[in-house]
Amino acid sequence: MPQIVTSYVELHICHKSTEGYKFLLLKRSDTNKIYPGIWQMITGTIESHENTKAALLRELAEETGLKPVKIYSIPRINTFYLAVSDRICMSPVFLAIVDKTDVKISSEHTQYKWGSFEEAVKLIHWPNQVESLETIRKYLDNDELLSKLVEIKI
């Protein structure tokens, strides 16, 4: 029977430009054993000694070199099956807003791109991650809704 694990996070990153919100997309290296070459946001695991906030900050720094201005918890949890370990994974969704755009990608990725919502939707590989982005857009486009999101204090 597969194990259910909750140690994963999905972190979308955006910044506000003169043209509206831009979303950071990362292309996984072709040498990655799992999901090589796909475009995604940050996905990662919470290490045993960390809480969720520490994991989000670490993953953001490791994979992009960026620091958040704000981090929000998005009211959504994605689930997926990880065949290599026979696990059902639950991954809460977060949004980091940044004010810098100079990305330093890790060896996990080969490219990055700041794109509009429409560009991001076309590039993101997994449908549930596209749905996360659609939820995020709904909040970003409505100040009243945005004010109701839970902010992770940094």
- Mind listing the pLDDT tens digit of every residue in the chain (154 residues)? 999 999 999 999 999 999 999 999 999 998 877 888 899 999 999 999 999 999 999 999 999 999 999 999 999 999 999 888 999 999 999 999 999 999 999 999 999 999 999 999 999 999 999 999 999 999 999 999 999 999 999 9
Q: Supply 116's token pair.
A: 């509009």
Whole-number Å distance between alpha carbons of 1 and 13: 35
Q: What are the domain boundaries of the chain?
A: 3-152
CATH number of 3-152: 3.90.79.10
Q: Which residues contact 125 (CB under 8 A, 6 or more apart)?
A: 35, 38, 39, 40
